[in-house]
Amino acid sequence: MNDLISRLETLKSERDAVVLAHYYVDGSVQDAADYVGDSYYLSTIAKNSPHQTILFCGVKFMAESAKILSPEKTVVMPDTMADCPMAHMVSPEYVNNIRESYSDLTVVCYINSTTEIKAVSDVCVTSSNAKKIISATSTKNILFIPDRNLGSYLQGFFPEKNFILPKGCCPVHSDLTTEDLLSIKQNDPETLVLTHPECEPEIVGLSDFVGSTSEIIDFPAHSKANNYIIYTEHGVAHILKQKYPDKTFLFPSPIPVCKDMKLITLEKAVRSLETMASPIEVPESLRKAAQQALIRMHELAG
């Protein structure tokens, strides 16, 4: 492990590289990264990074977003097969059809979407900035894509708007059930339930706190509770244990594991800086179209 970390350090200076890791990748990769965060934080770091190379330890839409915002940089991923399935759950044709039906419409796309979807959207959001960005929209109709669960959670904050929601969802979060939550609450009502809004509305409704990955990680710092059940991807256990060694964090079953995030290993991270293989490429006309929605997100959320 130490050999891999020292090799990574050498390659970072040779390649003028910064290493970014999402909270859902393996703990060994998080420990080796320069920055660890949620999707919005990492997008901001990537956009402002002075380094020529970005090694993005996350899923494809995250690395593509970095490339869209910084086309002059080389963006590499440890494994380009790491791709969020939800990102592919709506098509540009679906968006274009809805656009034809509504004149007063904003197309809001979750950053967990393909470049092609960003290119036909008005603005991107992440779970940490979506409320702020939707508040800044002036249309009555909001097409929120692709996550129906995040969309329906947000809809609750904007009763004056008409949300159009497709059927997309995160297979990891939407698989979780209320079973563990209910039995834990029955045995110890003091245990707090912290939930990502990609979970089903039934779980969201029974939770003590709903927030983005970073908001979930920050929550115990301001709470007296000692026990928590965490309804999001298991990778966050790594930082939760480091930050709060005296608190207990349980996870529902099946343990929420994103198999795409787990394709990212330290060995592959080192290899990708060694070979610089498969840099992320986005055709220029598509990149320009997709850039608008991401720039708008950074302007409105900043």
Which option in ligand SF4, ligand 13P, none does residue 212 bind, with CB closer than 5 to 8 A by kind?
ligand 13P
The string of DSSP codes covering 190-223 is: TSEEEE-TTS-HHHHHH-SEE--HHHHHHGGGG-
If binding is defined by CB under 6 A, does position 172 make contact with ligand SF4? yes
Which lies closer to ligand 13P via its Cβ, residue 126 or residue 272?
Answer: 126
Q: Which of 11, 20, 29, 39 binds ligand 13P (CB under 6 A)?
A: 39
- Rounded CA-CA distance 124/299 in Å is 11
If binding is defined by CB under 6 A, does position 170 make contact with ligand SF4? yes
If binding is defined by CB under 6 A, does position 213 make contact with ligand 13P? yes
Both structure tokens of 145? 């894509």
H or E stretch covering 228: strand 227-231
- Rounded CA-CA distance 100/210 in Å is 34
Fill in the per-residue mask, 147 to 186: x = in contact with ligand 13P (CB under 6 A), - = not in contact: -----------------------x----------------
The distance of closest approach from Cβ of residue 226 to ligand 13P in the complex, given in angstroms and rounded to an integer, is 24
Q: Which of 126, 155, 195, 291 binds ligand 13P (CB under 6 A)?
A: 126
Which positions ≥6 away from 276 have C-beta within 8 Å? 15, 53, 74, 76
> Strand order in 35-37's β-sheet?
35-37, 17-22, 53-57, 74-76
Which option in ligand 13P, ligand SF4, none does residue 38 bind, with CB closer than 5 to 8 A by kind?
ligand 13P
Footprint of ligand SF4 (CB under 6 A) = 59, 84-86, 112, 170-173, 198, 233, 258, 260-261
